[in-house]
Amino acid sequence: MAQSSVMKSTNINRIKRLYAQGKSATEVGEVLGCSWRQVISQMQRYGIPRRSRSEATYLKANPTGDPFCIKSTLSLEEERLKALGIGLFWGEGSRRNLISVRLYNSDPNLLRVFIAFLRVICGVPSQKLRVHLILHEDMNVKSALAFWSQQLQISSSRFGKVTRIASRGRGSYKSRVSRGTCGVYVHNSKLRQIIGQWLGECAHVAQLAERDLGKVEVAGSIPAVGSLGDQRSNGSLIAGRG
């Protein structure tokens, strides 16, 4: 009995270690010479938490770990870059997309700043950056690709399929977006979640400022208790009162 208990303890420890290394239940079973069902049964019996489906999918897509490295210690200039990057994503980013970090714009200067934010602050390797162009049908694809590749210093090999949209007649859009709209993105749900948390923190600070300073609400934020927006929504401001 004592020997059996030692064997069980050894196997449980091995299951914990192998599972923590990122192996699936099936892979753990192959190492231990048992089925994945037996592995799951032992995990449930001894309270070893299982990964969620999304966590398992992420781990399978990134077997060597996160393909980015958030910089923890920032200089003053880097703090400003981080704030600017968060602000750009707040205003211009695709916030409904929860599995990638995407930002579209027709201004190459703005996109260069966002790329610097991804590279320097988020530690995204250059080879992980992808680009997507949206062009009107009467725009030259080759010329646009060359323009954005040069402006962003990103190889055209990292550009995805160009999206073509119908032209809008003889309007002024050509002067505004003569090279189309360009999107820069990184496909990683965990990085998207981290940036989402940063957005939440910024929104909270903005709400506190609205309440304490009595300023007009930040677009898209929920009025803080006691702010002007909160008073308006509750009908506590009397028109003409001063």
Written as tens digits, the pLDDT of the chain (242 aa) is: 444 454 467 788 999 898 888 888 899 999 999 988 999 999 999 899 998 888 888 888 888 888 999 999 999 999 999 999 999 999 999 989 999 999 999 999 999 999 999 999 999 999 999 999 999 998 999 999 999 999 999 999 999 999 999 876 665 455 556 789 999 999 999 999 999 999 999 888 878 877 777 655 555 554 444 433 444 444 443 333 33
CA dihedral 202, 208, 214, 217 (to 10 degrees): 40
Judge whether 62 and 22 are in contact, CB under 8 Å.
no
Contact 86, 199 (CB under 8 A): yes
The sign one gets for the Cα dihedral 24, 30, 32, 36 is: positive
In the chain, domain spans: 2-50, 53-226
Cross-strand bridge partners of residue 164: 135
Residue 93's beta-bridge partner residues?
103
